[in-house]
Homo-oligomer: A and B are copies of this chain.
Amino acid sequence: MGTTKFEFYTEEQNELAVLAKAIGHPARIAIIEHLISVGSCVCGAIVNELSLAQPTVSQHLKELKNAGIIKGSLEGNAICYCLDEKGFAKLNAFFGEITTHFENKNNACC
């Protein structure tokens, strides 16, 4: 136990869960917000933004990258990270369904 039973779910459900889980940490929210506000890519300046040690930030970046939330490209010495539109497109599709659900007032009994 302690392991999520991915085999019980559809590929789409697992994919959405991985994306949402990646966003589900305040440090990673902060990283995403920073990438939004800076407008374009940023390198290790993220370490200075957060009150976390460099290896910890690196690990969070890795998780965001693996999940498809950000992407990074080498810029000489530094690495340039920015948001990955694909990952957000999938999440947006999901949230779109929920918005429709509420608009249709299908949320009957509560």
Contacts and interface: CB of A to CB of B under 8 A. Distances in A.
Interface of A: 4-6, 8-9, 13-14, 16-30, 32-33, 36, 39-41, 50-52, 71-73, 75, 80-85, 88, 91-92, 94-95, 97-99, 101-102, 106-110
Query: Do most interface residues of chain A lie in helix, strand or loop, or is the interface mixed?
Result: helix
A101 B36 contact: yes
A5 B51 contact: yes
Given A85-B102, A95-B88, A110-B82, A17 B8 contact: no
Given A9-B30, A51-B5, A92-B99, A106 B25 contact: no
Contacts of A21: 20-21, 23-25
A8 B26 contact: yes
A94 B83 CA distance: 14
